Amino acid sequence: MVGLNGYQGEMEKLEGRPERWADRQRAGDSLKKTYLVTFGGSREFNRMVDLDVRRREFLITLRTSSVNSERVKEMKEELVSINKDVDSLKEIVKSQAASAELRSEQQPQQLEIVAVIGLVNIAIDSFAAMTVLSGPNPPSTKVGPYVVSDFGGLFSTVTTPEGRVFHCATLVFSEEEAGIKCEPSGNKS
């Protein structure tokens, strides 16, 4: 989640600089390495990142270059195909991330697992969307019977089926390492 958000921020900064394509490639490679360390290898995640980098390069080219009309048409058609591929890959990746988290050797408590899975799902949905997602604010997702809401700034909540709300704080130890701690808020939603 931290890696995905960092990647998004880095790419947004680099998109204004068309000549920095090599840095955008490096950002994609770095994200793939972060995912490998965190969840293990995933061809689907790597493909999703490669498609995202390609999509961004097309959009930058369309925005900043004079491309002939035939090439513009081809690029727009390929963008539609890329978006469809990313949408199908994100569901596979979300399932893989949830499975990896559930079988991790150092199992945190149930609520922390739910929070991580939910936050990763929200981050992947955001990653896969090229526009601002419309939907609940804060972004929320269901993980089984739980609802995970991302308030940004390393703060989220998990609401149980009974309506108990747990406040969760994401603890970032390094660029490759983070954890999460959830505590009851004392309130029902």
For the CA atoms of 156, 161, 162, 168, what is the dihedral angle to 10 degrees? -20
Q: How does pLDDT run across 56-111, given as a tens digit for each residue?
A: 999 998 887 788 889 999 999 999 999 999 989 988 988 887 777 666 544 446 77
Residue among 87, 153, 154 at smallest CA distance from 115: 154
More confident residue, 73 or 128: 73
Q: Specify whether the CB–CB gap between 50 and 4 falls below 8 A.
A: no
pLDDT of 58:
92
pLDDT of 134:
56
3-state secondary structure the chain: CHHHHHHHHHHHHHCCCHHHHHHHHHHHHHHHHHHHHHHCCCHHHHHHHHHHHHHHHHHHHHHHCCCCHHHHHHHHHHHHHHHHHHHHHHHHHHHHHHHHHHCCCCCCCHHHHHHHHHHHHHHHHHHHCCCCCCCCCCCEEEECCEEEEECCCCEEEEECCCCEEEEEEEEECCCCCEEEEEEEEEEEC
Residue with tokens 């990746």: 93
Where in the chain are the domains?
2-188
Q: How does pLDDT run across 27-57, given as a tens digit for each residue?
A: 999 888 888 877 778 899 999 999 999 999 9
Q: Is the pLDDT of residue 25 over 80?
A: yes
Pairing status of strand 140-143 against strand 164-172: unpaired
Q: How does pLDDT run across 142-185, given as a tens digit for each residue?
A: 888 888 888 876 788 888 888 889 998 877 666 556 678 888 88
pLDDT of 96:
85
